[in-house]
A and B are shown apart, each in its own frame.
Chain A
Amino acid sequence: QVQLQASGPGLVKPSETLSLTCTVSGGSVSSGSYYWSWIRQSPGKGLEWIAYIFNTGSTTNYTPSLKSRATISLDTSKNQLSLELTSVTAADTAVYYCARAIAAAGTGLIDYWGQGSLVTVSS
C-alpha cells in the first residue's frame, strides 16, 4: 500500500518561497509509470492542480497560472517529491496535497493521495 505524507512550514511570509516535501512509502517514486503531483485546495478556488513530474524526471507540466513561480522535483535517493513556490501571497494559502497519478490513463487518474499540508501565507 503506497502512502504519501506531505510536510511543510505551516506559515510562510508574503514574498518568500514556499517549500514542500512529500515522503513516499510502500513504493518507489522511480518505479512504474506514474505522474507524481501537487494539488492544492483553497477556500476561494477549490481544488487546483499545480504540477506533475513523470517518475523518470524527464517530463514536467505546470498549470499555466503558476508555471512562472512553481518548481516540482523528485529526489529518488530519499523517495521524495518536492514543490517550491516563489513570491507567495495570501492567495497561495491552501492545503497542499501530494498525489500519484497513473500515467497510462492520461487524464490525471490519481490512485493515491497524501493527507495534505496546510500552508498559511501571512506576515
Chain B
Amino acid sequence: QSVLTQPPSVSGAPGQRVSISCTGGNSNIGAGYDVQWYQFLPGTAPKLLIYANTNRPSGVPDRFSGSKSGTSASLAITGLQAEDEADYYCQSYDSSLREAWVFGTGTKVTVL
C-alpha cells in the first residue's frame, strides 16, 4: 500500500507542459525528507530524474523539474515529447513504523 499519492494519469500534446503531484504526510514529505522522481519505460531499467526535490542528475534534460512544498512535491515536464510517455513515480523516506523508503502510486504520462 503506497504511502505517497499520485494521480493515475496525466496527458498533454507535444510541446505542452504537464505536472504530476505527489502527496504525502507528516511522517514523510511533510517531515522534511527529500523526494526523488523516477521514470519507468517498458523494457528498460528505471531512471532517476530528480533527486533531493529539485536536482537533476547529469544527462537529464532541463525540461524536467521538481518542486516541494509542505506535504507535497511535484514533477513538471515542459515541452512534452513523445519519448516522455512513461510511468513516473515519486519516492521519499518515511519515519513511521520503521518503514524506510516509500514510493508513490505512480502516474502514466500520455503524449497525445
Chain A residues in the interface with B (C-beta under 8 A)? 4, 37, 39, 45-49, 52, 61, 63-64, 97, 101, 105-116
Contact = CB atoms under 8 A, between A and B. Distances in A.
Interface string B63-80: 000000000000000000
Contact of B101 (A64, A107, A111, A113): A107
Interface string B84-107: 000001011100011111111110
B52 to A, nearest CB: 7
B15 interface: no
B57 interface: yes
Given A46-B104, A101-B101, A115-B43, 16 more contacts: A39-B103, A45-B2, A46-B106, A63-B100, A64-B97, A106-B93, A107-B93, A107-B101, A108-B93, A108-B100, A109-B34, A109-B48, A109-B52, A110-B91, A112-B48, A114-B45
